[in-house]
Structure 1
Amino acid sequence: MAKNKTAETEVKVTDFIHSFVDNDQKKEDSFRLIELMQEWSGFEAKMWGPSIIGFGSYHYKYASGHEGDAPLIAFSPRKAAFSLYVYSAREDNKHLLDNFGKFKITKGCIYIKKLSDIDISVLEKMCLDSIAYCEEHHECACRN
């Protein structure tokens, strides 16, 4: 079975931000996201793979037999936009997107240009909902 590309690393988050992010506003937003996500998750920021900043972890296993670990919530300050890994669309939480702000979404993540484009209280609800979902459905560090 292939090894997951996105695994927790020993790279320091602050070193990554200072070396990877070349925009002052994006750096400021990155450090603010770290503060918020640490507060909401109760976990310190860790690097996952070369460019994802994650908080906590859970273990998943698919019906195919593929399994691995992933952060409970995460983001990446990519060049074009922030990638937020904080939301899984379900019937009971789709309403959260209604008042979120300016964003684009794909199956795997939400893209935002800057924090001022979104409602932080809605982001908090998404993060807490995602953590609760992982806690209910997976082996999760949030149970400790």
Structure 2
Amino acid sequence: MSQNKTVPTGASAEAFLAAVEPERKALEAQQLDTLFRQATGFAPQMWGASIVGYGRYHYRYATGREGDFLATGFSPRKARHSIYIMPGYQDYGAILSRLGKHKLGKSCLYVNKLADIDLAVLAELIQTGLKDLDALWPVRPN
């Protein structure tokens, strides 16, 4: 069976966030780190080269595939922030309708700048996603 390409690393999340460019993106990444810490109660851990994750879970599918993955997190990409909510956004339409300007992927929310969204609604979305994920697979600290 194949292994996940995105795995936890020993890299410092603080050092990664301090090196984000441009400055506006770095300041927003620091805001997101604070929000994720408060919303989850978890310390950050780097997953791969550019994802800051909070919490983790172990999954096992009916096919037998299993592994560990970040419970929630974000990546301050050049074009926009990628925000990861597991198990996806399919059930979160009511929350997303109050969030503000964003685009969706399967388990990823894209935001150009934090001024475009309501951060309290984002915190609600993070907490709801963690609760729903924990009902499927127990979420634990990194």
Q: TM-score with structure 2 length normalisation?
A: 0.91
Corresponding position of 1:70: 69
String of CA shifts for 1:113-140, please: whole Å, max 9, x gaps. Answer: 1111101111011100111012111032
Could you tell me how far 1:18 is from its partner in structure 2? 3.2
Report the number of matched residues.
140
RMSD of Structure 2 on Structure 1 (CA): 1.4
| Distance (whole Å) between structure 2 residues aligned to residue 106 and residue 13 of structure 1 | 24
String of CA shifts for 1:6-61, please: whole Å, max 9, x gaps. Answer: 11111001222233x22111100101111110111111011001110000111112
Structure with greater strand share of residues: 2
| Distance (whole Å) between structure 1 residues aligned to residue 64 and residue 48 of structure 2 | 22
Three-state SS of the structure 2 residue aligned to 1:34 is helix
Three-state SS of the structure 2 residue aligned to 1:95 is helix
Three-state SS of the structure 2 residue aligned to 1:30 is helix
Letter paired with 2:112? K
Q: Which runs of 4+ in 1 moved over 6 A?
A: none
Q: Is the CA contact (8 Å cut-off) linking 2:83 and 2:108 kept in structure 1?
A: yes
Corresponding position of 2:24: 25
Percent of matched pairs sharing the same residue:
36
Q: What are the ranges of 5 or more consecutive residues in structure 1 without an aligned counterpart?
A: none
Q: What are the ranges of 5 or more consecutive residues in structure 2 without an aligned counterpart?
A: none
